[in-house]
Structure 1
Amino acid sequence: MLPSSRLLSTLLLLTLLSVACSEMPSQPPAPPPTVQQSLLQRAEQSIRRAQDSVPPLREALLIEAAKLFIQLGDEARVKRTLEVVDPSQLTGQQLFDFALLYSDALLEQGEYFTARDLLNDPRLDALFSATPLEQQKAWRGKRADLFSLLGEDESATQEYIVLSHLQAAAADIGATHEKIWQLLIDTPDKTLSTLETAAETRALKGWYNLAQLGRQYQGDLRQWAEQLILWQSRWPGHPAVLFPPPSQRQIEAVAKAVPGQLALLLPLSGKYARAGKTIREGFLSAYYNVLENEGDTAPLHIYDTNTADITKLYQQAVASGAEIVIGPLRKENLATLAALSELPAPLVGLNYLSTSAQANTPAHDNLLQFGLSVDDEARQIAHRAWLEGHRSALVITPDTKWAATARQAFHKYWSELGGRLISSTPYSLQQKDFSAIIKPALLIDQSQQRANKLRRTLGKSLEVRTQRRQDIDMVFIIAYPDQGRQIKPTLDFYYAQDLPTYASSHIYTGTENPGRNRDLEGIRFSAMPWTVPGIVSDKLKPADTLKSTYRNLFALGVDAYQLHQWADMMRAYPQTPFFGHTGTLTLGANDRIQHSYPWAEFHRGKVRLAPELKAD
């Protein structure tokens, strides 16, 4: 039977449609998700599932999502995700995962004390032995590093010792031992002696004993090398014998290369004679102290930089056999020598080059810059205050050039951290009444004006408490003791007694005066080590009769002598610390010796060490 015309028409239409469809361009398949997109999808899926789940599945899903956000580098979402985890619902592996992950997120946000509380959870201790080795090491390492950061050195030392026992690779053990060594060499002599007596394990007792030797003989590397060999024979099998800190391995080699003749370049006449002579006294005190302890000293020649061209003096010293030159003191003289194309003998300048002079200095292997640095103090104070939780600082400084430098340095470091700075009008060193400086800085007048306006508006007498500004959470002052004793009571009078107050080392010049220093109560400051009782030998401290403004120069002279032996060691191990009278010294960028300072505070009129940070 032939098909009907209607059927033929239908078949034709379907054929045409089929052809038309086959001629239409096909849509390309959707590209597969990128790795980043896939991770994000999985993380968000875990969070959605967690919202519909109950513990402990909910917590497991949140931790899984946090791990995915870590891979994505999304630190903010890591923290937000872990904040809603209920730690009480976690056990075993989950709890360790959470503690390690969340502590990293907290540290990234600067919440150091919260991280410490988390890592100190007693349940982690109880679960430790059943935890995989890698997690054990991660937990111990995090705790040790955090304790060290917060100034809890004794706890940090003990954690590092436990960590080293968990490690197998010699390089890892050596690196951990280096951390122990750097902590201990920065610990005061009396503290080390007390800790050694109280130590409950042979390993701990041996570490403290070794650190005491290091501090005792660091001014004479030859003696230190000999004493190190003797210590190793007395403590066979000790971890520091089996796996010495890397920096100690170089001591014997460096000791053999100690310079055989010294030259000291200082202004001993003219305008800067007082400063030059004070440094010379400190230098010679250290020099003769080595002789008194039956050590070896190199022949010493001293040159007055005020009597001749500085380049000729340097060349004369080298021609006379100097194997290392210490000085000069003045910046311009140091810049002149630093600009020379060659320095045939190593030079330890007793100052720091300006930014412009540094830019014009050719690369030298023989130049170190060492002096008293307000920049280092400003950096350390900013870092400490930030760690303790402060974010907005009122700064009070005198109207001197060096104080302006310190204020600018603090502003730089504080701003880099994210802090806010409010500066008061600089005060004169002859200032007696600080109300005119502090009252407007705290906006007291504005508070009183608001109270008066309220009384006028209401038409009656009101008891309204005057208040200081509330947008600051700390005070940083640069002041000598006499000014500090006026500034702190004035701050207290104008309702700022609750604000933590930080100060530079100028606030204390080493003279105990409990009666007068009660006006400095509570001030925390970066201290010159020689000023704090029990930190350095009394034999090498400046005389009480020396004018207070020159005492730090005496300490600089002491360190200049002791430091000259460590130049090669510092170049080999830039982070090798030298515990000096002007701070713990390490080699930084541009061959600059950097200082870090012990922390101290005024307590009942006396100065005491305050190494541990305080939570805001």
Structure 2
Amino acid sequence: MRHIGQAGKIFTLSAIASVLLLSGCGSTPKTQSKPVVVEPTPIETSQVEENVTPEHKLLEAKKLWERTRNKEQRDALLLQAADLYLQNQQPVLAQQVLYEVKEDGISGGNQSYYSLLVTKAYAGMPNASAEELLAMLDGVKATGETAFQKAELQTQLFTQQGNYAAAANSVLLTNLSDEDKVQQVWQWLTSLPAESLFEVGKAYPALSPFITLRELTEKNASSPATLAVELQKFQQVYRGHVLENTLPKSVVAATQLTDAGANDIAVLLPLSGRLARTGQVVKNGIMSAYYTDVEKRQDEHLLPRLRFIDTNGADTQHLLNEIGDTKFIVGPLLKDTVESLIPNLPVGVNVLALNRPEEIAAPATTNVMPTNNTLATSSSASLNDDLHNSGGAIAASGAKGELAALDLVTSLNYFGLAPEDEAKQLAEYVFNKGYRAPIVIAAQSSLYQRMDATFKKHWTLLNDQENKRRTNITSVTFNDSNSLREGITQALDVAQSNDRINQIEYMTNAEVYNMPRSRRDIDAIVAFASPQDTELLNPIIEASLNPYDGKQVPVYATSRSMDYDSGKNQWRDLQNVHFIDMPWLMPSHNWQPLQQEVEQAWQNQNTMQKRLFAFGFDAYQLLPQLGMLNTLKYLTHEGLTGTLSLNQQGEVIRRQPQAIIRNEKVQMLSE
């Protein structure tokens, strides 16, 4: 890489000026503010001889001009000089050459090469418009090396825009190896929502085989053996395509998963003591899922044996003795038990922890790219303040080598009902609706303060992604109904409006016929409060908003503000409140027969018990899928608690559906 220094820069600019000054003797230069886009002819980037410098090309352009006055050939040499500056990582000098060429007018024969070089010179710069550069690239019609460069630039610019479907389409046209192309396309394509794939396939036909492959893996996610057979058929159909001989590594790994042979599963729950009722409800959910499998398989002998171990008052050694040689564990439920037990488990044990320790271990420490279909365990977060969701670094040092020798993988996953997770999802939901100036109202209890802090932290992150420094959140904290009312009226500026009206009346000694006006910049209200406080909050908000503004400010809440046991009065007071909650608690879900059985077996379950039952049910149903979910991260499981998937840390990500209270009823929202 060559650096020409200050003297070189002076020579460069002098040479450019000299060449273009001479052009005035034989032609009238065409000055323009931006390049004229004409129908270009295919042109290859010049392959210059070794050790040729940009200055050589500038001098060659000058001599050619003095000798022939051929503007098109001269400009071609100048563009080659700019190309060499870019290759030498000197974009400023390249930009100067390109600017001078543009000012002198660009001939049609050089337009394509010029457009390519301008895009290369400005791509990735903070103030450059990716949209304008992509439009410029549209005029580049080239073959060979130029076509590869164009595709690479399009891939880079589409990625900057976040248009990953277009980026995936472009990367197929680069000169990357087949393996690199497939891996990159697969990474982007599996990051897209499943519902968008049909439109993606219509817009980019080259991606259709990849979309078909993704749909094939989703359809056969329950059986690695069936997936392997279907993949062979897929490769025959797409003979000659890059996917015939080069499949994504994760898909190949998924076909190699085998049943780990879990014939004995230990479930660790508090079944006595203070949390006995909580543990029993989770157990009921697990047993219900177990017997649902019995009905499906028509053979109880095909299912594993479940052993329930009471963790109440048990120390680590006692639990280890109870677990014995069992290789599959569901639980523990309490954070302290998780932190003390799991680091002491022998190598080769697969754990579905039902709470998170303080920090989640990196994937490498838990070896989560399995070669066996593991029945792993996944942690459940804060079920209430006693079951607080933390996260946790649990690693068995030196486990990798021992596991390789045993040919058995340790899998560790975390399945959470964390209130923080709901706050994060609500932030994304409200932000994606286009709101930017919410009032966030939070009760002073630790639970709602944690949710409030998580919401604001994630909201800031979402703003940063839009390059906006201000988050525009108005905060209200309350501890009783009086402070709640006062906080809302102050946040909406109603109190200040009343003061201004009173002041005018005092100054004029006359009654002012006016309504207190609320702030007009507020576009949403987010509540982290108990069901009882949320019932009080909604009428206060409606009373504080000026009815003559004609503006409705939507109110958003989480499942922690919903109690399905309060009767119709609650729904009346929560009119028009948007919220997220488990599918299991929604009026129209896909498990109606199961719900009837549950209501007959366990009558009068309250809202929290229904959530704990769904949690236990999903935990058991996830077991046989965790190997595949760990391998193909884009796969999901539709559970009673939400749409479930796994992230890179082995945490279960739970997306809950959205609903609204209308006419004293809960109505699902499809958006």
TM bracket (short chain): 0.5 to 0.7
Aligned with residue 346 of structure 1, among 347, 350, 373: 350
1:55 is matched with 33
Does the aligned pair in 1 maintain the 2:294–2:303 contact within 8 Å? no
Amino acid paired to 2:668: V
The alpha carbon displacement at 1:263 in A equals 1.2
1:584 is matched with 644
**Whole-Å Cα distance in 2 between the matches of residues 98 and 489 of structure 1?**
59
**Whole-Å Cα distance in 2 between the matches of residues 59 and 503 of structure 1?**
52
2:180 is matched with 171
1:439 is matched with 489
**Whole-Å Cα distance in 1 between the matches of residues 611 and 497 of structure 2?**
42
- Does residue 549 of the first structure (1) align with residue 527 of the second (2)? no
**Whole-Å Cα distance in 1 between the matches of residues 260 and 323 of structure 2?**
17
**Whole-Å Cα distance in 2 between the matches of residues 535 and 125 of structure 1?**
49
2:308 is matched with 303
Counterparts in 2 of 1:126-205, with a 5 A limit? 132=147, 134-136=149-151, 139=154, 159=166, 162-163=169-170, 166=173, 169-183=178-192
The alpha carbon displacement at 1:480 in A equals 6.0
Does the aligned pair in 2 maintain the 1:578–1:584 contact within 8 Å? yes
Distance 1:228 1:478, change over 3 A: farther
Distance 1:32 1:234, change over 3 A: closer
**Whole-Å Cα distance in 2 between the matches of residues 328 and 33 of structure 1?**
68
The alpha carbon displacement at 1:148 in A equals 7.4
| RCO higher in structure (CA 8 A, sep ≥6) | 1
Amino acid paired to 1:379: K
The alpha carbon displacement at 1:485 in A equals 5.4
**Whole-Å Cα distance in 2 between the matches of residues 322 and 211 of structure 1?**
35
Does the aligned pair in 2 maintain the 1:525–1:600 contact within 8 Å? yes
Aligned with residue 249 of structure 2, among 246, 257, 266: 246
**Whole-Å Cα distance in 2 between the matches of residues 59 and 241 of structure 1?**
37
Q: Structure 1, residues 200-253: CA drift from partner, whole Å, max 9, x if none?
A: 9999888777666655664xx4x3542452365268435796354432222232
The alpha carbon displacement at 1:300 in A equals 2.7
TM-score (structure 2 length as normaliser): 0.60
Amino acid paired to 1:305: D
Aligned with residue 558 of structure 2, among 476, 494, 504: 504
The alpha carbon displacement at 1:328 in A equals 0.9
The alpha carbon displacement at 1:324 in A equals 1.4
Q: Which runs of 5+ in 1 are unaligned?
A: 1-30, 40-51, 75-90, 150-155, 611-616
Please state whether the residue corresponding to 2:669 is helix, strand or coil. strand
The alpha carbon displacement at 1:325 in A equals 0.7
Please state whether the residue corresponding to 2:514 is helix, strand or coil. coil
Counterparts in 2 of 1:7-406, with a 5 A limit? 32-33=5-6, 54-57=32-35, 132=147, 134-136=149-151, 139=154, 159=166, 162-163=169-170, 166=173, 169-183=178-192, 218=221, 221=222, 223-227=223-227, 229-230=229-230, 232-233=232-233, 236-238=236-238, 242=244, 243-257=246-260, 259-294=262-297, 298-306=303-311, 309-312=314-317, 314-319=319-324, 321-340=325-344, 345-354=349-358, 363=396, 367-383=412-428, 385-386=430-431, 390-406=435-451
Amino acid paired to 1:410: F
1:3 is matched with none
The alpha carbon displacement at 1:309 in A equals 1.2
Does the aligned pair in 1 maintain the 2:115–2:140 contact within 8 Å? no
Q: Structure 1, residues 445-497: CA drift from partner, whole Å, max 9, x if none?
A: 12111121122223333343422245654322225666545534542432285
**Whole-Å Cα distance in 1 between the matches of residues 587 and 118 of structure 2?**
44
**Whole-Å Cα distance in 2 between the matches of residues 438 and 59 of structure 1?**
57
Aligned with residue 466 of structure 1, among 488, 506, 516: 516
Does the aligned pair in 2 maintain the 1:524–1:600 contact within 8 Å? yes
2:457 is matched with 412
The alpha carbon displacement at 1:274 in A equals 2.9
TM-score (structure 1 length as normaliser): 0.64
Distance 1:460 1:530, change over 3 A: same
Amino acid paired to 1:252: T
Q: Which stretch shows the higher mean deviation, 400-409 or 223-232?
A: 223-232
Does the aligned pair in 2 maintain the 1:481–1:506 contact within 8 Å? yes
**Whole-Å Cα distance in 2 between the matches of residues 103 and 505 of structure 1?**
45
Q: Structure 1, residues 143-183: CA drift from partner, whole Å, max 9, x if none?
A: 5886779xxxxxx5xx5774575466233223323433454
Does the aligned pair in 2 maintain the 1:369–1:593 contact within 8 Å? yes
Distance 1:281 1:119, change over 3 A: farther
**Whole-Å Cα distance in 2 between the matches of residues 36 and 287 of structure 1?**
76
CA RMSD of aligned residues (A): 5.6
Please state whether the residue corresponding to 1:328 is helix, strand or coil. coil
The alpha carbon displacement at 1:349 in A equals 1.2
The alpha carbon displacement at 1:262 in A equals 1.5
**Whole-Å Cα distance in 2 between the matches of residues 521 and 141 of structure 1?**
47
Matched length: 516
2:651 is matched with 593
Amino acid paired to 1:172: K
Distance 1:305 1:370, change over 3 A: same
Amino acid paired to 1:176: V
Q: Which stretch shows the higher mean deviation, 263-272 or 555-564?
A: 555-564
Q: Structure 1, residues 547-575: CA drift from partner, whole Å, max 9, x if none?
A: 222333233223322433455556667x5
Amino acid paired to 2:280: K
2:668 is matched with 607
Amino acid paired to 2:614: A
Distance 1:463 1:539, change over 3 A: same
Please state whether the residue corresponding to 1:255 is helix, strand or coil. coil
Amino acid paired to 1:368: N
**Whole-Å Cα distance in 2 between the matches of residues 34 and 482 of structure 1?**
76
Please state whether the residue corresponding to 1:408 is helix, strand or coil. helix
1:494 is matched with 544
- Does residue 475 of the first structure (1) align with residue 534 of the second (2)? no
**Whole-Å Cα distance in 2 between the matches of residues 354 and 102 of structure 1?**
44
Amino acid paired to 1:248: V
Please state whether the residue corresponding to 1:265 is helix, strand or coil. strand
**Whole-Å Cα distance in 2 between the matches of residues 93 and 521 of structure 1?**
62
**Whole-Å Cα distance in 2 between the matches of residues 327 and 588 of structure 1?**
20
The alpha carbon displacement at 1:580 in A equals 4.8
Distance 1:119 1:73, change over 3 A: closer
Amino acid paired to 1:493: A
Does the aligned pair in 2 maintain the 1:100–1:139 contact within 8 Å? no
**Whole-Å Cα distance in 1 between the matches of residues 304 and 587 of structure 2?**
33
Q: Which runs of 5+ in 2 are unaligned?
A: 13-29, 39-81, 93-110, 361-389, 398-409
Does the aligned pair in 2 maintain the 1:476–1:501 contact within 8 Å? yes
Please state whether the residue corresponding to 2:477 is helix, strand or coil. coil
**Whole-Å Cα distance in 2 between the matches of residues 291 and 181 of structure 1?**
33
Please state whether the residue corresponding to 2:237 is helix, strand or coil. coil
Amino acid paired to 2:233: S
Please state whether the residue corresponding to 2:501 is helix, strand or coil. helix
Distance 1:180 1:463, change over 3 A: same
Distance 1:339 1:519, change over 3 A: same
Distance 1:54 1:212, change over 3 A: closer
Amino acid paired to 1:56: K
Percent identity between matched residues is 20
1:422 is matched with 474
